[in-house]
Chains A and B, each alone.
Chain A
Amino acid sequence: MNRQRNEKPSRVAVVAAGVVSPLGAGLEATRRALREARDCISPVTRFSVAQCRCTTAGQVDDRWLAEVVPNDRKARRLHRVSRMMITALQELLAQAPDFRPDLVVVGTTSGGMSFGEQYYRALQQPDVQTRQVPSWIANYPPQKAAIDALEASGLAAPCQVIANACASGNNAIGHAFECIRSGRYERILAGGYDALSELVFVGFDSLQAATPEKCRPFDRQRSGLVLGEGGALLALETLELARARGADVLGEITGYGISTDNHHLTQPHPSGIGPRRAMERALASAGRAPNEIDYVNAHGTATPFNDAAEGRAIIELLGPVPVSSTKGMMGHSLGGAGAIEAVITLLALRHGLLPANLNFRAGDPDLALEIVANEPRTAGDARVALSNSFGFGGTNATIVLETPEDLAA
């Protein structure tokens, strides 16, 4: 911890991962859902959506969480986003029991927002039932899920919790990557999380960014996103240390690019300059040429503006390359998206199966993208991939993930 900058940059290995998303809990469940191109979008059950245009979302089944969280008094008070992170961390530690992070860097947008909603609704009642209120307030802040997960697993590490809207998870992984590569830290736990909440759901609905139809990333008739939820964690470590202890290496993070597009609080510049800068910087960081990219896991929210800007940037920078957005399968999990999609991209490279871009019918005539449409595609030789996440506030983040030949133990 707190070392000086390396003369020779460290390589950054992913030595373990844990994931909970609408696709399932765990790497294996996620892999199965991806292989089947499963549509995991369903009618929202957690709150009333009767007055919303959009009525569906990708939802995490609480039964997946209850199995692994002890049913004690404190656990009952935790927000379900904390339980998602506890579940993800337990999976990660099952793969790397000795992993002790110097630092935790995670991303989120709203943490336990639904506890804040419950508190506000309680205030509107003539006789406020106060017994649960302190617990809601104490467990509502966005950083709690990361701290709760550490505590439940007996780990202790300082936390940097990034709230860069929908790019948060990718920002967290990217910042963690840079910190290890420079030699400042040796092991970092990185990831992201978010749970569905009424306020955020209605927010996207009010902006008409959420669709009443299917989520169709990059489709000519795309009409908006559906929200999702979940979280994922990646154990990052210098490749040198990982090899020294004989760790199984899932993949390598080799590059990170961040950019800020000052065009508008909620809309990207139509030219795609923000996403393009993030991808250019990520390629430069990884020392990769555009034609070396085998796959792009796109942000691909299926909003008209996002997909146009991102698609344009991909075409102009990378040319023909297989592209898919997995949000058609599982929704957009905001602060969790970058981390979940990093895991999905690693699985794609490791197993040679590019995930499907669901609900795709016909491409936008202006966007000649090579979409992995509706079915996963075998790509045994795919080694280098980009994963994009962009968010409100004009924040854009791209990471480069690889499974180079020399990673074999």
Chain B
Amino acid sequence: MRLAGLGWVTPLGSTLDGVWEKLQAGESAAAKSLGQGPGEKGLEGFPVPQEVSAEASRHPRLRRSSAISRFAVVAGLAALHDAAVELDEASAGRTALVFAISNGGVIYTKRFFHEIVQSGAQTASPLLFPETVFNAPASHLAAILGITGASYTLVGDGAVGLLALRMAEDLMMVNPELDRCLVVGAEELDWLLCDAYRRWRLLRAAPPIAPFAQVAHGTILSEGAGAVLVAREGEAVEIEQIHPGGNFARQRELAGQLEAIARDLAPNDSVDLFLASANGTFIDAAERSVAAKHFPKAAVYTMKPAVGESVAASGIWQTICAVLALRRQELPPLLGIPKGFGLTTARKPPGEAWRRAVVSTCGLNQQVAALTLRI
């Protein structure tokens, strides 16, 4: 399978080149206070700049939709554009859609339930409820693209983006009539989400995210969408293998699960890049130990300090980041690197060109997945 097109909406912007240049320049997104819940202090997150999805909100299908749907549509259309694919009725029939969602439409869900709690069920809005359903963003994008066949929304934790890519590969393998599959991961940001992650002891109140630190201080949430068009033919970056993933029962078991996946995926001396999901939480230690043991020569990078943790979108962002690094033979600087890190953080190939990358996504709620890309 090939990655034929890429698109993203991130707190740093929404063009491939523009975001990549900011990452290369060592920029991180602007954090914003998200207001506060009852009795709580304000928490910060990385929002998407408002102008990014303004155009999408004019589409009739998206007039009442939440931000998550608009991000998803912008990223999905960008990936198709990047691949120079224009869908008509026939080609839409040979295109599948797979969405990855974790927190979903939390803004409308909160508003809907707030009405129930504050004023009773009689006041709950029938306009809000349909947008709270996990597959609402996929439904909007399918309608805009005219897709009448397979459309799936997968839910999960931070691993769900790669699990969606795996499902896309499954669909392509079992349905020879499919030409392509558009995979989109999307999330939106709200104080309620931040409050939940803080009470779950996984969030810090304000940036920076300190990746791979000895002590995990917590992550910062963000929002946006990532989209990749998986096709049988396309550009030079190939999806070599997508591991079906696994689950870990306890945090201390994560490293073992990730190690098992790493063993399945690649011999340790053939990986040039390790695109980690490290986000300032317990997953960093697991990825650090697996990278040191299995991919000692690989250059390690996580984009979370720059753009935050956007859960389902993050896995797709990481994949896009890996493609761009392989294409351009460069990595952005790893922000917030701890003293005595001990792993390679090279930004250019030391000698021979980078040819192979591992993307790792460790979720915060028991799921883990990884893939390898080759140029």
Contacts from A to B (Cβ < 8 Å): 1-2, 4-5, 49-52, 102-103, 108-109, 111, 117, 119-121, 123-124, 126-128, 130, 133-134, 137-138, 141-144, 147, 150-151, 156-165, 171, 175, 178-179, 181-182, 184, 198-199, 202-208, 258-262, 265-266, 277, 391-395
Q: Contact check, B152 vs A175: say whether CB atoms are below 8 A apart.
A: yes
B140 to chain A, nearest CB (A): 8
Is B5's CB within 8 Å of the partner chain A?
A: no
A164 with B152, Cβ < 8 A, contacts A49-B121, A151-B249 known: yes
Q: Contact check, A198 vs B116: say whether CB atoms are below 8 A apart.
A: yes
Q: Please indicate the chain A residues that have their CB under 8 angstroms from the CB of B150 in the complex.
A: 258, 260
> Which of A5, A123, A138 is most buried by chain B, counting CB atoms within 10 A of its CB?
A123
Interface SS majority for chain A: mixed
Please pick, from B101, B116, B124, B200, the residue contacting A137 in the complex, using a CB distance under 8 A. Answer: B200
Q: Contact check, A126 vs B244: say whether CB atoms are below 8 A apart.
A: no
Q: Contact check, B153 vs A51: say whether CB atoms are below 8 A apart.
A: no
A123 with B195, Cβ < 8 A, contacts A52-B121, A184-B173 known: yes
A137 to chain B, nearest CB (A): 5
Q: Contact check, B152 vs A171: say whether CB atoms are below 8 A apart.
A: yes
In B175-234, the 8 Å CB interface with A consists of 175-176, 192, 195-197, 199-201
Binds A, one of B126-134, B298-306, B354-362: B126-134
Q: Please indicate the chain B residues that have their CB under 8 angstroms from the CB of A5 in the complex.
A: 173-174, 176
10 extra interface residue pairs, beta carbon distance < 8 Å, beyond A159-B367, A392-B130? A52-B121, A142-B134, A164-B135, A164-B153, A179-B170, A203-B132, A258-B151, A260-B151, A262-B142, A266-B130
Please report the C-alpha to C-alpha distance between residue A182 and residue B175 in the assembled complex, in whole angstroms.
9
Q: Which single residue of chain A is at the shortest CB-CB distance from B137? A: A393
Please report the C-alpha to C-alpha distance between residue A121 and residue B142 in the assembled complex, in whole angstroms.
35
Please report the C-alpha to C-alpha distance between residue A108 and residue B151 in the assembled complex, in whole angstroms.
15
A159 with B121, Cβ < 8 A, contacts A124-B38, A258-B150 known: no
Please report the C-alpha to C-alpha distance between residue A216 and residue B199 in the assembled complex, in whole angstroms.
45
Please report the C-alpha to C-alpha distance between residue A204 and residue B112 in the assembled complex, in whole angstroms.
12
Q: Contact check, A130 vs B247: say whether CB atoms are below 8 A apart.
A: no
The range of chain B's interface size is 35 or more
Q: Please indicate the chain A residues that have their CB under 8 angstroms from the CB of B136 in the complex.
A: 265, 392-393
Please pick, from A159, A206, A260, the residue contacting B142 in the complex, using a CB distance under 8 A. Answer: A260
Q: Contact check, A120 vs B117: say whether CB atoms are below 8 A apart.
A: yes
Scan B27-41; emit 1 where CB is below 8 A from any A CB, else 0. Answer: 000000000011110
Q: Please indicate the chain A residues that have their CB under 8 angstroms from the CB of B175 in the complex.
A: 178
Q: Which single residue of chain A is at the shortest CB-CB distance from B174? A: A182
Q: Which single residue of chain A is at the shortest CB-CB distance from B103? A: A141
Q: What are 8 contact pairs spanning A and B, CB under 8 A? A: A2-B244, A51-B120, A142-B155, A162-B154, A165-B134, A258-B151, A391-B135, A393-B142
Is B270's CB within 8 Å of the partner chain A?
A: no
A161 with B129, Cβ < 8 A, contacts A137-B200, A150-B247, A393-B138 known: no
Q: Which single residue of chain B is at the shortest CB-CB distance from A261? A: B148
Q: Contact check, A123 vs B38: say whether CB atoms are below 8 A apart.
A: yes
Q: Contact check, A393 vs B135: say whether CB atoms are below 8 A apart.
A: yes
Please report the C-alpha to C-alpha distance between residue A208 and residue B121 in the assembled complex, in whole angstroms.
12
Q: Contact check, A143 vs B157: say whether CB atoms are below 8 A apart.
A: yes
Please pick, from B102, B114, B130, the residue contacting A265 in the complex, using a CB distance under 8 A. Answer: B130
Scan B290-330; emit 1 where CB is below 8 A from any A CB, else 0. Answer: 00000000000000000000000000000000000000000
B76 to chain A, nearest CB (A): 14
Is B24's CB within 8 Å of the partner chain A?
A: no
Q: Please indicate the chain B residues that have their CB under 8 angstroms from the CB of A50 in the complex.
A: 121
Nearest 10 CB-CB pairs, A to B?
A393-B139, A163-B134, A203-B129, A182-B174, A262-B143, A158-B245, A51-B121, A158-B244, A206-B126, A393-B135
Please report the C-alpha to C-alpha distance between residue A133 and residue B198 in the assembled complex, in whole angstroms.
11
Is B366's CB within 8 Å of the partner chain A?
A: yes
Please report the C-alpha to C-alpha distance between residue A198 and residue B113 in the assembled complex, in whole angstroms.
9
Please report the C-alpha to C-alpha distance between residue A347 and residue B291 in the assembled complex, in whole angstroms.
50
Q: Contact check, A162 vs B247: say whether CB atoms are below 8 A apart.
A: no
Q: Contact check, A161 vs B173: say whether CB atoms are below 8 A apart.
A: no
Q: Contact check, B129 vs A162: say whether CB atoms are below 8 A apart.
A: no
Q: Please indicate the chain B residues that have their CB under 8 angstroms from the CB of A117 in the complex.
A: 113
Q: Which single residue of chain B is at the shortest CB-CB distance from A393? A: B139
Q: Which single residue of chain B is at the shortest CB-CB distance from A267? A: B130
Q: Which single residue of chain A is at the shortest CB-CB distance from B246? A: A158
